[in-house]
Amino acid sequence: MSDKIKLGLVFGGQSGEHEVARVSAYNVLQAINQDKYDITTIGITKDGRWMIYSGDWDKLPDGSWEKDADHLRTDFSIFTDPEIQAIDIFWPMMHGPMGEDGTIQGVFEMMNKPYVGCGVLASAVGMDKVVSKILFERAGIPVVPYVYFYGRDWQDDRDKWVQASEDKLGYPVFIKPVNMGSSVGITKAHGRDEFIAGVDNALQYDSKILIETAVNAREIECAVLEEDGKIQTTLPGEVVASKEFYDYEAKYADDQDSKIVIPAQIDAAIIEKIRGYAHDAFAAIDGSGPTRADFFVDRDTQDVYINEVNTMPGFTDISMYPKMWENMGVAYGDLIERLIQTAKRKKVTDYTKKA
């Protein structure tokens, strides 16, 4: 009988970041120690179908795994299937809504299974850019000025929200769907026409919209991880975008020349401030898994603002989170091992106990 740890890697998902999640999963699978782990790969399609995939992992990045019928199994229940129930630890390699927002974490909790990543609350809060900002403000971490509203508000009286944003923030501003990542659906508006078009675009991805003052800033990121009850942070890295801002295309398109600089070439005092804010932000959301905290450093004033946290940061071969840990002396494969072992040590709450 195998003494390997049974790891269930769940990839894909129903968000606009489905493609990125497939690549992240592929990279993790290439680096994981297969002598130690017996891996079950479970793909979730964009339309929400769960399939156990036993075929060639090379088919993950381009999505062709979905057509590999000889290696797919769909006739199972995640709550009763023996192969699923035999899994010791799950790793949801999914980004964005329905994967990074507490939904699938809740499924694992119901299954009474440990999993890599933050818990339900931290995942949900980290995904919601508005709720997380409110918590950051309460924790004393600076955020840029912002306005938010819902799609129903926009439909009822768009002029009211255009004016409210102009009065408080002016131009330029960033327009963001609240519950998306990888810069999906984000635009920059320099005037009213672009503002209206940007909100209409963002509403294709979420019903809750965030408007932020566009700061002339450097984009600095910091990786966070909790081990044995201790929150650890890395030296931060800097994103130098190939476009006006670091949108989806600048992050992932092959013809873009965006680059990352690790460690970021900034003043030592600012580095320590960022690491302190990253620690406090992680604590504020009740983080417990791999998290990347993203910051703005104003080029003129050197003021530091937290932008957001990502509770399931990308693990592609160009992703900042593993590269920042690599700079700290933690190789990609070793980082994967640490994340799995951290998940293994977590206790799943037993809600059946009586007082």
Q: How far apart are CA 276 and CA 140, in angstroms?
A: 11
Q: What is the mean pLDDT of residues 183-200?
A: 93
pTM score, whole prediction? 0.88
pLDDT value of residue 157:
97
Q: Minimal CA–CA distance to 282: which of 150, 154, 122? A: 122
Q: In the CATH hierarchy, which fold is given to the domain comprising 5-115?
A: Rossmann fold (3.40.50)
pLDDT-based confidence at residue 97 (cuts at 50, 70, 90): confident
Q: Which residues pair with 213 in a beta bridge?
A: 173
Q: Tell me the angle at which helices 18-31 and 332-345 cross, rounded to the nearest 10 degrees.
A: 100
Q: How far apart are CA 248 and CA 129, in angstroms?
A: 17
Q: Which residue has the tokens 């990347």?
A: 292
- Is the distance from CB of 44 to CB of 50 less than 8 angstroms? yes
Q: In the structure, what pLDDT confidence band is assigned to residue 355 with cuts at 50, 70 and 90? A: low
pLDDT at 248: 45
Please give the pLDDT value at position 131. Answer: 96
Homologous superfamily in CATH for domain 146-213: ATP-grasp fold, A domain (3.30.1490.20)
Rounded to an integer, the average pLDDT of 322-327 is 96
In angstroms, what is the C-alpha Rg of the chain? 20
What residue ranges of the chain are covered by domains with CATH 3.30.470.20? 126-142+215-330+341-345
| 251: region left, alpha or beta (phi > 0 left; psi from -120 to 50 alpha) | alpha
Q: 181: pLDDT confidence band, cut at 50, 70 and 90?
A: low
pLDDT > 70: what percent of the chain?
Answer: 91
Eight-state DSSP code of residue 115: B
Beta strand pairing status for 5-12 and 89-93? parallel
Look at residue 255 in the predicted model and tell me its pLDDT: 47
pLDDT of res. 323: 96
Q: How far is CA 147 from CA 115, 129, 162, 192, in A?
A: 35, 11, 10, 15
Contact between 108 and 115 (Cβ < 8 Å): yes
Dihedral-angle region of residue 13 (phi above 0 means left; psi in -120 to 50 means alpha; beta otherwise):
left
CATH 3.40.50.20 residue ranges of the chain are 5-115
Closest CA to 7 of 111, 120, 86, 125: 86
User: In the chain, where does the domain assigned CATH 3.30.1490.20 lie?
Assistant: 146-213
pLDDT higher than 60, residue 300: yes
215 C-beta neighbours (distance < 10 Å), count: 19
97: which 2 tokens?
Answer: 């809504």
Tens digit of each residue's pLDDT (9 = 90 or more) over 5-38:
999 999 999 987 899 899 999 999 999 999 999 9
Picking from 239, 181, 234, the residue whose alpha carbon sits closest to that of residue 16 is 181
Identify the CA nearest to 108 among candidates 94, 122, 90. 90
Answer yes or no: are the C-beta atoms of 93 and 28 closer than 8 Å.
yes
Q: Which of 171, 173, 130, 134 has the alpha carbon at shortest distance from 150?
A: 130
Q: List C-alpha distances in Å: 61 to 18, 26, 30, 33, 57.
A: 10, 7, 12, 20, 8
pLDDT band at 172 (very low <50, low <70, confident <90, very high): very high
* pLDDT band at 352; cut points 50, 70, 90: low
**Contact status, residue 201 vs residue 185, Cβ threshold 8 Å:** yes
According to CATH, the topology of domain 126-142+215-330+341-345 is: D-amino Acid Aminotransferase; Chain A, domain 1 (3.30.470)
Q: What's residue 242's pLDDT?
A: 59
Give 234-268 pLDDT, tens digit per residue: 999 999 875 555 444 544 445 446 689 999 999 99
